[in-house]
Each structure stands twice: as C-alpha cells, then as structure tokens.
Structure 1
Amino acid sequence: MKRIKIIFGILAMVAVMMTSCQTDSVEQTPAAEESNSSNAKRSDITNVTYNYTYNRQRFTINYALDGESGEVLDMNGDTDVASSFFQGSEGPEAVLFTNLEDYNEDQPDVFIDDSGDVVIEAELFDTNADMEAALEEMAGQPLETNNATTESDRGNTATLEHGNCTTFSFPGGGRFFYYRNRNYSGLMPALTKNNIRISLDHQFPAADDNAMSSLIVLKPFNDFTYTIIYENPCFTGRRLVFARGRGPSFGIRNLRRYRISGFFWWRRTWDNRASSVIGASL
C-alpha cells in the first residue's frame, strides 16, 4: 500500500510539472511571435547609399527604406550640405543615373533577391536643358528629341518638342519594357517597344498611370541608349533618366530606390509617379 502511495505521488508531481511547462510555453508564445515579427520587419529594410553630384560637388546621403512600402525610415550623411543646396527651392528637375545593372536576356534571373545594401550614383540638374546637355555630351551627338521635327526613314515627320502631347515611334534597334511590379513582373504591354530608334508616349493608359515599378532596356552594344520617365503627362514635371553608352543592356529592378532622388529630402519618395516616357537608342 505504501508503495502504491509513492507511485501516485510521483505521478502527481509529473502531472504538475507538465502543466507548468505548458503554461510557460503558452505565456511565452506571444512574446516570441512579436520578436519574430520584429525581426522580419528589420530584415525587410534596405540601406541605400546615394552618392550625389550637383554643380560639380559631391555629397552622400544614406537612406533606410522599408522594402515593402518604399518609405524612408531613416536618413543620415551630408544632410546639412544637401539642405544648403536646396533650401527654399523645390530642388533639381532631373536626376541622371548611369551606373546601371547589366541585364542579359539570354540568362534571365530565375530567382531574384533584391535585398541587401545598395549604392547608387546620381547626378542632379536644375533644369531639363542642363540634363539634356549632359546626355548630348555622353552621346557625342545632338539628341533627336531636341529637334523641332525629325524625319523617319519613310519620310514621315513628327513633332518632338518637350511639352507636346505626342505619341509615336521610329524604327531602330532598341527594345524597352516597363513593368507594374518590381523584379520585372507585370509587363505593361501598351508601353512595350520593340526595334525602335526613338519612342515617345505622352500619356500612359489609365491602367498603367502611376504604376511603373521596374524596367528593362535591351540595346545594341554600340548604341547610346536612354529612357526618361516623366512625373506628368506630355513629358513634363520632374524626371528620372537612365542612360548607357557603349555596353550591354540594363535593367532597373526596383524603381523605388531611384525615386528617392535629390528633390524629396523630407522622408518622401517619388512613389509610383510616372505618366509619360521617352526611350531612345541612337
């Protein structure tokens, strides 16, 4: 009888210990979930370092971006220098990017990991004319979009002046692809251009307006090729310019990183504002 009592006592103690462990486990679960959630949020933060050139002066700003929303969470670096340049003004009208990621259409990405730190070189311009002068210097020739009229090989004439609400294409060797989502997903068929020398779209279709998030430009190796994304219809408003001379094709897999730009310092990005576009391969 005494032995039976001892056995029951041991079983009772084991039951109490198991209940205690389960209680501790239940009590710890919310904290663990919160910790995991916090870690997940931190892992989706991308650090983007911008090396800016403005009026031949260089300065650096470091941004912490929310990978999901593109919101600027934190900013440090030469912020005093930047503020002194643009205090009391709306900032530069155009931003030029030339150190672009290569894109090989024969070896497309099967899995794209766009996390990690990013370094971007950006040249800022007060006016569109200053930006186009820089493009002409890179190209070694006048831009066709600066001419009042340009004749195609078939003798057709079209107006190319900025601010005109004109949409057309001339044949050539460039291929331009624009996407609604980052990482080249959600192609915008209405804006896709194959085998063109120059193309202007003065107004995005309603489904594509303010929705561009990535792009691919396929170019002949020796061509000077660029695309200009405009904030507003009819090639007006602020603009982002991606250009490359002799060299391979390029892609921009996440436009949010480039829309931080020089003209929105106070925790704002360009968001998805894109309403007209020019592409050229000269």
Structure 2
Amino acid sequence: MYLGVLFITALTITGCQTDSVNESPEEQAKFETSERTAVASNTTEVKHVYNYNRETFSVSYIINNETGDVLNTTGDAGRAEELFSTDERASSVLITELEEYDGADASADTANSVVINLEVFDSEDEMNAFVEEDGGRIPTGDGEYAANAEGPCSDYDIWGQGRFYFYKHWYYGAEMTPLRRTNRFYYRDYTFGSYNDQMSSLIVLKPANKRSYTVLYQHSCFNGRRLAFYQRPGYSGFGVPNLRWYTLYRWWFWRVSWNDQVSSSLGVVY
C-alpha cells in the first residue's frame, strides 16, 4: 500500500509539471506573434528602385537595425548582384529624391520602411553629366585649384554658403567635427585620417535658392565607388540618417553597405 501511494503521488507531480510546460495552441500562437512583433520592431524594410541605362528594376530587403544584417530579400536581387559584384560597372550611384532636413531628432523615430530611388552610372563623368543636364555646370576648383594644389590628393576650399556635417553613428550621432565644412561654396577632403571608414550619417544644409551636390568616395584621393546626393532649389538641405540603407557592392550574404566605408568626399553648394 505504501508503494502504491508513492506511485500515485509521483504521477500527480509529473502531471502537474507537464501541464505547466505544455502551452495551449492559443498561448503558443500568442508567443509566436509577440516574438515576430519584437523582431519586426527592430528592422527596416528598404526598397531600392534602380535606374540603369534606361532599365528599371527593384530589390527590397529587411535589415536588422542593430547588427546591419540582411534578414531577407525579395525582387530582382540577381540583377543587383550582377551589377554590384564587380568594379567594372555601376561604380557611381546618385540619389536625387531627398527630403528636406527639418532639424528633428531622427533617432527618436526609426523608419520601418524606406524607398530609395537610385540613378546608376558606370563612371563619375556619366553621373556628373546627368546632374549638369538638370541644373547646369557643376562648379569645381579649376583655375585657382589647378594653380595651387599638388595633384588630386589635396584638400581645397572655396568660401560660400554650404554646410556639411558628418557623423560616426546612425541618425546623426557623434559628429566627426574635424570633417565639418561650413560656409563653403566648394570643398574637397581627400582623406579622413583617423576617421577613415567610420562615417554612418551626414547632413548638408544650404540656402533654399541653391543646389547642392555631395559625393562620398570608397577610398582616399577620390577613388573607388561613389555615392552622391543631389538636391535641387526649393529645399534648405537634406539628411542621410543611415548609410546602411545603401549598398556599396555585392549582395546577400556578401553584401557590404556604405556604412563605415567612406574615405574621402567633396561637396558644392551653387
């Protein structure tokens, strides 16, 4: 009888433990939904709409906002990989549809989805020609620059009304003040020195009746791939809160974004 009582007691305890571990289908569904919501709240869906040699195609991907990892991709990823997997083509990318920067703290409201239209070119000369067709000749440091600078690997500035700010973190965190350029008509910064490969966001401000053209370069001395931003009159500037939204080269598991990849830059407000 004593053994029987022990056996019944053991079964009772085991049954209670099993009931506490096994969740009902409804509870399990609630848990899975909560888990998906937690993941989704920490991600951004970025859609790239590419225009290349009169060809238009798009790719969307889900990016983890903490790690920068690509979690999923849809669309014509094969075409994008074909273009961005080598240095022979699509070396210059231009963004022209830029919202006006209003000075708000962008980090307070991380975007859940972003659509970016990109003009893609095989060379910087092609990209410059596209910009000039829209708004006239892009000013350079020709003349005075040619007389005073020792080759392309030199800084150069012409005073004006443009202001350029660069940041180490996304959403304009930790400004890299040695790279700041204020009251500039034209500037070139051929090397970022100790800030090489650390840029994650930027802000460009200008008078509303002016244009701005800013080019970021993968390598020092204005070499490597190029990511450029062109803003027409009617706006007082723009902000790029997260360079992880922009693909530098390759795709999927081998994808490298522009985050922490910029080594030189130039800008003009005209």
Listed as ranges, the matches of 1:203-218 within 5 Å are 203-206=191-194, 208-218=195-205
SS across alignment from 1:256: helix
Once residues 262 and 63 of structure 2 are traced to their aligned partners in structure 1, the CA distance between those partners, rounded to angstroms, is 20
Q: Do 1:72 and 1:269's aligned partners in 2 also have CA atoms closer than 8 Å?
A: no
Which of 235, 243, 263 is residue 222 of structure 2 equivalent to?
235
TM-score normalized with structure 1 length: 0.77
Distance verdict in 2 for CA 1:131–1:111, change over 3 Å: closer
Q: Do 1:71 and 1:269's aligned partners in 2 also have CA atoms closer than 8 Å?
A: no
Listed as ranges, the matches of 1:60-75 within 5 Å are 60-75=58-73
Greater CA drift, 248-257 or 267-276: 267-276
Counterpart in the other structure of 2:3: none
Counterpart in the other structure of 2:154: 166
Which of 36, 39, 43 is residue 41 of structure 1 equivalent to?
39
After superposition, give the CA deviation of every residue in 1:163-209 in whole Å (9 maximum; x if it has no partner): x1111211000001010011111001001111100111111021x21
Q: Do 1:144 and 1:150's aligned partners in 2 also have CA atoms closer than 8 Å?
A: no
After superposition, give the CA deviation of every residue in 1:207-245 in whole Å (9 maximum; x if it has no partner): x21111111111011111021111000111001101101
Percent identity, aligned pairs only, is 34
Alpha-carbon offset, residue 40 of structure 1: 2.5
Listed as ranges, the matches of 1:46-195 within 5 Å are 46-82=44-80, 90-105=88-103, 108-109=104-105, 112-144=108-140, 147=142, 149-150=143-144, 157-159=147-149, 164-195=152-183
After superposition, give the CA deviation of every residue in 1:4-49 in whole Å (9 maximum; x if it has no partner): xxxxxxxxxxxx99xx59x938x88xx9999866643332121111
Alpha-carbon offset, residue 246 of structure 1: 0.6
Q: Do 2:85 and 2:251's aligned partners in 1 also have CA atoms closer than 8 Å?
A: no
Q: Does 1:223 pair with 2:210?
A: yes
Q: Do 1:179 and 1:186's aligned partners in 2 also have CA atoms closer than 8 Å?
A: yes
Q: Do 1:70 and 1:269's aligned partners in 2 also have CA atoms closer than 8 Å?
A: no
Q: Does 1:252 pair with 2:240?
A: yes
Alpha-carbon offset, residue 78 of structure 1: 2.2
Q: Do 1:150 and 1:160's aligned partners in 2 also have CA atoms closer than 8 Å?
A: no
After superposition, give the CA deviation of every residue in 1:95-132 in whole Å (9 maximum; x if it has no partner): 00011121124xx3386212311100001111111111
One-letter amino acid of the structure 1 residue matched with residue 224 of structure 2:
G
Once residues 194 and 62 of structure 1 are traced to their aligned partners in structure 2, the CA distance between those partners, rounded to angstroms, is 36
Alpha-carbon offset, residue 157 of structure 1: 4.6
SS across alignment from 1:91: coil
Alpha-carbon offset, residue 89 of structure 1: 6.1
Once residues 209 and 217 of structure 2 are traced to their aligned partners in structure 1, the CA distance between those partners, rounded to angstroms, is 26
Distance verdict in 2 for CA 1:110–1:224, change over 3 Å: closer
The structure with the largest helix share of the pair is: 2
Distance verdict in 2 for CA 1:216–1:88, change over 3 Å: closer
SS across alignment from 1:144: coil
Q: Do 2:156 and 2:189's aligned partners in 1 also have CA atoms closer than 8 Å?
A: yes
5+ residue gaps in structure 1?
A: 1-15
Counterpart in the other structure of 2:9: none
5+ residue gaps in structure 2?
A: 1-11
TM-score normalized with structure 2 length: 0.81
One-letter amino acid of the structure 2 residue matched with residue 42 of structure 1:
A
* Structure possessing the higher radius of gyration over alpha carbons: 1
Distance verdict in 2 for CA 1:33–1:205, change over 3 Å: farther
Q: Do 1:190 and 1:205's aligned partners in 2 also have CA atoms closer than 8 Å?
A: no
Distance verdict in 2 for CA 1:278–1:85, change over 3 Å: closer
Q: Does 1:265 pair with 2:223?
A: no
CA-based RMSD of the aligned residues comes to 3.2
After superposition, give the CA deviation of every residue in 1:78-107 in whole Å (9 maximum; x if it has no partner): 2344456668765311100011121124xx
